Amino acid sequence: MAEKAIEVTDLTIAYRDKPVLWDVDMDVPSGTLMAIVGPNGAGKTTLIKSILGLVKPAAGQVLVLGKPYNEQRHLVGYVPQRGSVDWDFPTSVLDVVMMGRYGALGWLKRPGPSERAAALEALEKLGIRHLAERQISQLSGGQQQRVFLARALVQDAQLYVMDEPFQGVDATTERAIVTLLQELRSAGKTVVVVHHDLQTVPEYFDWVTMLNVRRIASGPVQEVFTEQNLRLTYGGKVAFLSAAGNGKSENL
């Protein structure tokens, strides 16, 4: 765990004059499964987009595996929010998964048999190989999410960044995703996940960052996922929180 997968220092991001992230520091040690939690508008998505160089910071810096993102992008896999694309786009599941290899292919080269094989293997891992030739508009929400995860898997990365992979998926898919995340961690990968369901944080993740424009807390779940930090993160909505924040954290 000596190496840091992500190192965010003094990160400030603003849309026009409204700060979305304010002076955020966050370290993600290699080989951890980290959840990023916080209320709507807390800047969770903005934080991971800035890790991926998709949003330019007003101040501060982000290092990925010790270097700026644009030197390390071949080591990073990205799972955007499922709702960020048009699923009526005329293409097949296999085609979408192969897009994960486009970065490694670079310009001009077309995906060939080895990309196809990698895509099929990833689909197999997510249990949807039989959907390979399916048109993407015919997928359920859970299947769409698995397709996006398969696309990230073929990126064959060291660090995976996922934006709400559990959003609106069925229980079976949720189990499948959790299993996948744990497999990735066992293989020595680092995974950072924007997460919404506070109840499952202690069960699914070992590290957590709690965010509400400012960073409230960041560290191992059993140390920082406390009721007090939850209260700080979510403000007035304490009633909802004391129910959600129980479990291990309350005893600490």
Partner 1 sequence: MDIAQLFHDLVFDYTLRTVAIGAAILGLVSGMLGSFAVLRKQSLLGDAISHAALPGIVLAFLITRDREPVVLMFGALIAGWLATLFMLAVTRTTHIKNDTALGLVLSVFFGFGLMLLTFTQRLPDATQAGLDKFLFGQAATLLQRDVVTMGVIGMVVLGLLVIFWKEFKLVTFDPEFAASLGFPVRALDVLLTTLLVIAIVIGLQTVGVVLMSAMIVAPAAAARQWTDRLGIMILLGGLIGSLAGVGGTLISSSAERLPTGPVIVLVVSVLVLFSMLFATNRGLIWNWIRSRQNSRKLRARAVLADLNTLALQHPDQEHGHSVAVLRAMSPNPDGVSHALQQLSERGHAREVSHEVWALTEEGRSQASQNIKDEKE
Where do contacts with partner 1 occur on this chain (CB under 8 A)?
49, 52-54, 70, 73, 76, 78, 80, 84-86, 89-92, 96, 99, 102-103, 105, 107-111, 135, 137, 151
Closest to partner 1 by CB, 107 or 236? 107
Shortest distance, position 84 Cβ to partner 1, whole Å: 6
Burial environment of residue 51 by CB neighbours within 10 A (0 to 12, 13 to 18, 19 or more): buried
Shortest distance, position 162 Cβ to partner 1, whole Å: 12
Closest to partner 1 by CB, 91 or 182? 91
Closest to partner 1 by CB, 54 or 117? 54
d(CA 143, CA 10): 38
* Amino acid (1-letter code) at residue 73: R
- C-alpha dihedral (51, 53, 54, 56), degrees to nearest 10: 100
d(CA 169, CA 160): 19
Shortest distance, position 159 Cβ to partner 1, whole Å: 12
Closest to partner 1 by CB, 53 or 247? 53
Shortest distance, position 79 Cβ to partner 1, whole Å: 9
Shortest distance, position 104 Cβ to partner 1, whole Å: 9
Shortest distance, position 112 Cβ to partner 1, whole Å: 12
Closest to partner 1 by CB, 103 or 247? 103
Closest to partner 1 by CB, 1 or 108? 108
Shortest distance, position 233 Cβ to partner 1, whole Å: 26
Closest to partner 1 by CB, 97 or 244? 97
